[in-house]
Amino acid sequence: MESPLTQQSRPETFKPKIVQLYENLFNTTDYAEPSEGFWREFFLLPPDRSRLNAILDQLSPDETLNLQTQTQQLFTRAIREAASASSPIDSYALETLTVFLACVLKKKYTNPSADVITVLAGLDHVDHAISNFVAVLDGIIRNGSSYDLRLKAIRTAIAMTGGAYKTSLVSYFTHRDLFPSLMKFVQESDTPIQVFEPFLLLGLLANYNKFEFQNPYQLRLDDFVNESSIQKIAKGVGLSCGALRNGYVAVQDDSPEGWSLIGTLIYFGLGVLAPGKKDKSSPPAVEEAKDLFAALPAQQATLLLATYDFIHANKLFGYHLISAAPEKDNEESPFASFLSLASYLLQHAYRSPRGAHYAELNLLTMRILTEDSNLCKQLCSEESKRKVRLCRQRQPYLPLVAGDRVLATAIFDILIDTLSHNLKRRLDVNLYSHCIAIFLRLLTYLSMNKIRLTYHWSELWRALLSLMRFLTTYAPDLTSNPHTTTLTTTLVTLIAFCVSAGDTFLPDPTSYDDLFYKLVETGPIITRFRDVYNFKPSSPSSSSFTTATKVTGIIPAEPANKDVHVAAIDTLIAVSSHFYTLLFVPDKNVDAKQPGAEAAPVPANLKKNLSPREVHKIIKQGYETLSIQPPEGLSAWTRYREADWKTELKRAARCAVDDARVLVA
């Protein structure tokens, strides 16, 4: 008797059962209502993230909307299973939710808010469904049975927040405050590495429509005083920054001798990028390196948004970030890692808009730190000296400083490198404005407190005057930018401040003399700069100086008049002209009728072969005959107002949101 069984051919590959269930659920042609047994089996099997991602990605927005019955059922059932407290079903449900949300929410729907509501719950049930979803996540984050489960709930919240950022659904996270649960997770974490996800989520939630309404997470950040949690977050930020920095080093190893790279690479899965893992004799080609640098930083840079917000809202966090010391001798302090990452970001800021957004966030963070006198004291104190690794991937290089250094001097190096390495005709004016603003804040603090720092000051003078030369040369390309006026006036004010108050913060006369000598060399540029950018007083008497005094270090609290920048550039021209007559033979080929030629002719030759010591001696003697009254108000600056940078911050937030969604997908 023949057997009723027939032998089927062996398939070339075996398809996992869960993948078959995915295909059955999202079948666009022949769909059958899933049974209770289907759902039980669906959540009993370990999810296949990559295959679920691939299946959902291939669906168009319209196809996804047509599958709304299936998507709503999956969303509702996954929430129920996540809340079941039955292991491993709850864990599998959260993983499935994370991938599902990351995929369906990133699609470009015709009506984003309405269509997303349709995909997830439908208009009639959205309030109950999303409120329940947020409540379930809150409960798991606060009291989940394991660290892994609580972390998966945070990642699911990131997927929803990142994907629905342009819709009203994120408002459900503001109605139910997740801050206590997130801080409880941070407090109970075993290592600083584990604070990355909750802090990232906090940054996304704190930025949601914060310029349109009073965001409760911003208020929470402002009131938070739990120092043990703050210290853990500060250490976690340091580890993240170190890992992000190492991504740049993996492309081009610029390690100073004795510096260990591997450190935190493993944290973001970047271990394969470590130089020891590849052939050092074959670095990437120039074009390949450009592409690799343009793709950096890694998506974990989204943490910089939360770091900015926490420092802006809470100076206690800024204090602990700066003061936290390395736990071991061969480790970086958290703030040293933050500055190191800033150095690499800013040297490569011109490569992509995304890199520029994160670089600007770092500059805004530094600007906020330097405006607080207590935090600025830490930055300028010998007691807070740290070893800081700075980017040396592009020439010209600044002098290498080995060992611990005052943090303010490391910031000076970062800013100078930023000025030197991002010059282009389509100048990022905002980036340069932030740099000049930070310089002014640090130098006014040093001057007011008579703090004299050992530093290669000549590099600073060179960078500032080179920027003035560049702005003069490419003025036609820059005058249409509305922020150019801010940059040019602040630059002139900063240089004039250094001239007037340099003797209060410079460590030796040589550094001061070098500034005057460079002003003499730049005299014609300063005059052209004045004419090109139309530095004219609003009244005839605004920029007149009649009192003959030696340049002093007196720092007035507020500007005496609104034409301080006009007075400042007149002062620079007068100083340049004065020392020119002492040092140089006038060039007879210069037409005296040319604008500004009489004030600062093109230097010809020294009157005789003078040694550097003799040059400095002449400059020192020239102080006694210098008849210039430095304008008041050079040290005055306006405190940072977040609303003034609303557009830039919104762009940075969108960039961080996109990266967060990619991370959890």
Q: Is it the case that residue 263 has pLDDT exceeding 60?
A: no
Q: Is it the case that residue 613 has pLDDT exceeding 50?
A: yes
Point out the domain boundary residue: 150, 176, 202. Answer: 176
| Average pLDDT, rounded, for the chain | 85
Res 42: pLDDT: 94
Average confidence (pLDDT) over 602-629:
62
Res 553: pLDDT: 33
194 part of a folded domain: no
For residue 295, name the pLDDT band (cuts at 50, 70, 90).
very high
For residue 368, name the pLDDT band (cuts at 50, 70, 90).
very high
* Statement to judge: residues 87 and 224 lie in one domain: no
The per-residue pLDDT for range 55-86, each reduced to its tens digit, is 999 999 999 999 999 999 999 999 999 999 99
Q: Is it the case that residue 594 has pLDDT exceeding 70?
A: no
The per-residue pLDDT for range 616-648, each reduced to its tens digit, is 676 666 666 666 676 777 888 999 999 999 999
pTM for the predicted model, two decimal places? 0.88
- DSSP SS3 for 15: coil
**Count of C-beta atoms within a 10 Å radius of residue 149:** 18
* Statement to judge: residues 387 and 497 lie in one domain: no
Q: How far apart are CA 136 and CA 153, in angstroms?
A: 9
* Statement to judge: residues 297 and 406 lie in one domain: yes
* Statement to judge: residues 353 and 502 lie in one domain: no
Res 308: pLDDT: 97
For residue 346, name the pLDDT band (cuts at 50, 70, 90).
very high
For residue 259, name the pLDDT band (cuts at 50, 70, 90).
low
Point out the domain boundary residue: 119, 150, 176. Answer: 176
Mean pLDDT lowest for which of 92-106, 226-240, 542-556?
A: 542-556
More confident residue, 255 or 267: 255
Q: How far apart are CA 414 and CA 245, in angstroms?
A: 14
Q: How far apart are CA 546 and CA 539, in angstroms?
A: 16
Average confidence (pLDDT) over 266-290:
59
The per-residue pLDDT for range 132-149, each reduced to its tens digit, is 999 999 999 999 999 999
More confident residue, 230 or 281: 230
For residue 176 the two structure tokens come to 């139910």
Res 601: pLDDT: 44
The per-residue pLDDT for range 465-490, each reduced to its tens digit, is 999 999 999 999 898 888 899 999 99
* Statement to judge: residues 230 and 328 lie in one domain: yes
For residue 545, name the pLDDT band (cuts at 50, 70, 90).
very low
Point out the domain boundary residue: 405, 422, 439. Answer: 422
* Statement to judge: residues 98 and 230 lie in one domain: no
651 part of a folded domain: no
Cα angle 244, 250, 252 (rounded to 5 degrees) comes to 115
207 part of a folded domain: no
For residue 605, name the pLDDT band (cuts at 50, 70, 90).
low
In this prediction, what percent of the chain has a pLDDT beyond 70?
82
Q: Which residues contact 204 (CB under 8 A, 6 or more apart)?
A: 158, 161, 162, 165, 302, 305, 306, 656, 657, 660
589 part of a folded domain: yes
Domain assignment of residue 155, given as a range: 17-176
Q: How many angstroms separate the Cα of 116 from the Cα of each of 74, 79, 260, 431, 485?
A: 14, 17, 47, 37, 44
Q: Is it the case that residue 92 has pLDDT exceeding 70?
A: yes
Q: Is it the case that residue 592 has pLDDT exceeding 90?
A: no
For residue 9, name the pLDDT band (cuts at 50, 70, 90).
low
Average confidence (pLDDT) over 327-351:
92
Q: How far apart are CA 43 and CA 92, in angstroms?
A: 6
Average confidence (pLDDT) over 451-467:
95
Cα angle 627, 633, 637 (rounded to 5 degrees) comes to 145
Q: How far apart are CA 100 and CA 316, in angstroms?
A: 38
* Statement to judge: residues 240 and 167 lie in one domain: no
189 part of a folded domain: no
Res 260: pLDDT: 54
| Domains identified in the chain, total number | 3
Q: How far apart are CA 159 and CA 664, in angstroms?
A: 6
62 part of a folded domain: yes
More confident residue, 155 or 549: 155
- CA 588 distance to own-chain centroid: 51
Mean pLDDT lowest for which of 339-348, 447-456, 565-574, 602-611?
A: 602-611
Res 547: pLDDT: 29
Res 623: pLDDT: 64
* Statement to judge: residues 165 and 218 lie in one domain: no
* Statement to judge: residues 377 and 519 lie in one domain: no
Q: Is it the case that residue 551 has pLDDT exceeding 60?
A: no
- DSSP SS3 for 556: coil
Classify residue 222 by its DSSP letter. Answer: H
* Statement to judge: residues 516 and 626 lie in one domain: yes
For residue 255, name the pLDDT band (cuts at 50, 70, 90).
confident
* Statement to judge: residues 405 and 468 lie in one domain: no
Q: Is it the case that residue 590 has pLDDT exceeding 50?
A: no
* Statement to judge: residues 407 and 528 lie in one domain: no
Mean pLDDT lowest for which of 130-134, 328-332, 649-653?
A: 328-332
Q: How far apart are CA 88 and CA 636, in angstroms?
A: 61
Q: What would the DSSP string read from start to end of 272-303?
A: GGSGGGS-TTSPPPHHHHHHHHHHPSPGGGGH
Q: Are 631 and 568 in contact (CB under 8 A)?
A: yes
49 part of a folded domain: yes
Closest CA to 527 of 440, 594, 460: 594
Res 557: pLDDT: 32
Strand partners, 272: none
